[in-house]
C-alpha cells in the first residue's frame, strides 16, 4: 500500500515537471556547449590582439568574448564591497550624488526601514529633476515592497515591476517562471555597481536581531564598462511597460590605465541563449592552476559538473564555497546531491559559517574574476535575467583570492566520508526535493 502511494506521488510529480518544462532540473534543456565563432575585434573597436596580459588570459578572454554580446572594454577601475551593509551604503551614496539620471535593477525591494529609506532617496532625486528608472521583480516585492513602488510612481520615478501578479497565477508553466534577478546601479554614465545585494534590512544586518550582514560581493566600477552596463539596462527596459526616454551620456566616464579586459555578460532567458552557462563552461575549461567558486545556490548542469571534475583531474586546485546557513533550505538539500560526485573527482567543497553567504563569484588562476547576480543553478541558466562582469585584471583577482582564503577561515571543509555516512533517509529527502528547487 505504501509503495503504491509513493508511486502515485512520484508519477504526479513527474507529470507536473513535464507540464512546466521542468525536466531541466535533471538535465538542462540543450545546455550543451557548441563551438562559437569569435572575432578578435569587437564592434566597439576593442582589439584583443593588443592584449597586454599573459597569453593564456588573453586567449581565455578572446574565447569568452562570444558571451559578452559585444560588451568588451578596458581602462576600468574596481572597488569591492564585501557585505550587505557596505554594499547598501555604497548604493545609497552613489544615488545621493546623482545629477542627471539613475538606472537601477533589483530582484528584491522590501517594505522595511531600508526599503523606505531607499524609496525616499529615489523620490528626492526625481523631485530635483534627476531621471530615475527602477526595475524590480514582482516576486521580490512579497515582503511589503509594493507600497514603495506605488510611492515611487507617485513621486515621479519610472518604477516598473517585472512579471506582474497575473503571471504568477500560472506557476507551472515555463514562460511564467521568468524573473528579473539582476543587481545593477548606473549613475550619470560615470559609475556603476554590480553584484549580489538587494534592498532590505536583513541583507545589511540592520534588523534588531544581532545577526551580522550577509556576506555579499558588490563591485563599484568606473571607466568604459559603465557605458556597456547602461546599454545593457536600456536593452532590457522594453520588457517593462513604460518607455525609456532618458538620453544616455556615452562619454561621461573617465578612462584609466589599460590594465584589464572587461566583459559584461547580459544574460536573458531566451531558449536559444545560454550565455551565462557557457560563460562558466569557457572559464572553467581554460583554468590552469586554480578555480575558486563562491555561490549560495549550487545546482549545476551535468556539463558543469563534468568540467569541474576535468579541471581537478588536470591538476587545477578547484574549490567551491557554499553557505552553511542557506536562506533557502530546499536548495541546500538539493545541492548536497552533487557533493559525492565532485569530491570523488578531486574537487574541494567548503561550507561558510560566519553569516549568510550570498556572494556569487569566481576567480580563475589569480587573473580573472567573475562578479554579479548569476548563480550556479538551472534557474539562472534558463529562467532569470542576470548580469555578471568578467574581468581580466590581476590586481582585482589577487584581492578576490585574498577574500576567498579569508572566507575559508570561517568555513568547514566537506569530507567525502561524512557525505557517505549521511543517513539514507536524509539522502533520499535531498533527492526528492531536488525537482522542486526549480521553482525557488
Termini Cα distance of the chain: 32
Give pLDDT tens digits for 83-94.
Answer: 999 999 999 999
Average pLDDT in the chain = 85
Give pLDDT tens digits for 53-86.
Answer: 999 999 999 999 999 988 999 999 999 999 999 9
- Which pLDDT score, from 0 to 100, does residue 164 have? 66
Give pLDDT tens digits for 385-406.
Answer: 999 999 999 999 999 999 999 9
Mean pLDDT over residues 235-260, rounded?
79
The C-alpha cell at 111 is 517594505
- How many Å apart are CA 309 and CA 22, to the nearest integer? 25
Q: Is 100 exposed, middle or buried (0-12, 13-18, 19+ CB in 10 A)?
A: middle
Q: Per-residue pLDDT for 4 more than 70?
A: no
Domains of the chain, by residue range, sit at 52-439
Give pLDDT tens digits for 259-287.
Answer: 899 999 999 877 557 899 999 999 999 99
Confidence of residue 246 (pLDDT cuts 50, 70, 90): confident
Give pLDDT tens digits for 13-42.
Answer: 443 343 334 444 334 445 555 444 333 334
- Which pLDDT score, from 0 to 100, does residue 240 have? 58
Give pLDDT tens digits for 345-365.
Answer: 999 999 999 999 999 999 999
Torsion of CA 280, 28, 301, 358, to 10 degrees: 70
Beta strand 77-81 with 376-377: parallel, antiparallel or unpaired?
unpaired
For the segment(s) 52-439, the CATH number from 3.30.870.10, 3.40.50.620, 3.60.21.10, 3.40.1260.10 is: 3.30.870.10
- Give CA angle at 378 (430, 346), nearest 5°: 65
Return all residues near 337 (Cβ < 8 A) that are at least 6 apart.
430, 431, 434
User: Bigger pLDDT: 7 or 287?
Assistant: 287
Q: Is 409 exposed, middle or buried (0-12, 13-18, 19+ CB in 10 A)?
A: exposed
The C-alpha cell at 50 is 593588443
Do 291 and 311 touch, CB atoms closer than 8 A? yes
Amino acid at each position: 500500500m505504501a509503495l503504491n502511494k509513493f508511486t502515485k506521488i512520484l508519477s504526479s510529480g513527474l507529470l507536473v515537471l513535464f507540464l512546466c518544462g521542468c525536466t531541466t532540473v535533471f538535465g538542462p534543456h540543450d545546455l550543451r556547449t557548441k563551438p562559437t565563432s569569435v572575432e578578435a575585434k569587437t564592434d566597439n573597436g576593442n582589439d584583443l590582439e593588443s592584449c597586454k596580459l599573459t597569453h593564456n588570459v588573453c586567449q581565455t578572454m578572446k574565447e569568452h568574448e562570444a558571451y559578452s554580446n559585444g560588451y568588451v572594454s578596458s581602462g576600468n577601475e574596481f572597488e569591492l564591497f564585501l557585505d550587505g551593509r557596505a554594499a547598501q551604503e555604497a548604493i545609497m551614496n552613489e544615488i545621493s550624488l546623482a545629477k542627471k539620471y539613475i538606472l537601477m535593477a533589483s530582484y528584491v525591494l522590501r517594505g522595511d526601514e531600508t526599503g523606505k529609506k531607499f524609496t525616499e532617496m529615489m523620490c528626492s532625486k526625481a523631485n530635483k529633476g534627476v531621471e530615475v528608472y527602477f526595475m524590480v521583480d514582482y516576486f521580490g516585492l512579497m515582503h511589503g515592497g509594493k507600497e514603495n513602488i506605488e510611492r515611487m510612481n507617485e513621486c515621479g520615478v519610472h518604477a516598473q515591476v517585472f512579471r506582474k501578479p497575473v503571471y504568477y497565477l500560472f506557476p507551472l508553466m515555463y514562460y511564467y517562471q521568468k524573473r528579473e534577478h539582476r543587481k545593477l546601479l548606473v549613475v550619470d554614465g560615470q559609475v556603476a555597481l554590480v553584484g549580489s545585494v538587494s534592498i532590505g534590512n536583513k541583507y545589511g544586518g540592520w534588523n534588531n536581531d544581532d545577526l551580522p550582514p550577509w556576506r555579499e560581493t558588490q563591485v563599484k566600477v568606473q571607466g568604459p564598462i559603465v557605458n556597456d552596463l547602461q546599454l545593457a539596462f536600456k536593452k532590457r527596459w522594453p520588457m517593462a511597460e513604460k518607455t525609456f526616454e532618458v538620453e544616455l551620456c556615452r562619454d561621461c566616464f573617465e578612462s584609466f590605465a589599460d590594465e584589464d579586459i572587461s566583459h559584461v555578460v547580459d544574460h536573458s532567458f531566451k531558449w536559444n541563449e545560454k550565455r551565462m552557462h557557457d560563460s562558466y563552461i569557457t572559464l572553467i575549461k581554460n583554468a590552469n592552476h586554480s578555480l575558486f567558486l563562491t555561490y549560495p545556490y549550487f545546482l549545476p548542469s551535468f556539463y558543469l559538473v563534468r568540467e569541474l571534475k576535468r579541471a581537478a583531474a588536470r591538476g587545477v586546485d578547484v574549490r567551491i564555497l557554499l553557505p552553511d546557513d542557506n536562506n533557502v533550505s530546499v536548495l541546500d538539500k538539493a545541492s548536497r546531491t552533487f557533493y559525492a560526485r565532485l569530491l570523488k573527482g578531486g574537487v574541494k567543497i567548503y561550507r561558510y559559517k560566519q553569516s549568510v553567504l550570498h556572494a556569487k563569484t569566481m576567480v580563475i588562476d589569480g587573473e580573472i574574476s567573475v562578479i554579479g547576480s548569476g548563480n550556479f543553478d538551472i534557474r539562472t541558466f534558463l529562467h532569470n535575467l542576470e548580469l555578471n562582469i568578467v574581468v581580466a585584471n590581476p590586481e582585482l583577482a589577487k584581492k578576490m583570492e585574498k577574500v576567498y582564503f579569508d572566507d575559508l577561515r570561517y568555513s568547514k571543509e566537506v569530507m567525502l566520508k561524512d557525505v557517505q555516512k549521511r543517513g539514507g533517509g536524509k539522502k533520499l529527502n535531498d533527492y526528492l526535493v531536488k525537482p522542486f528547487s526549480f521553482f525557488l
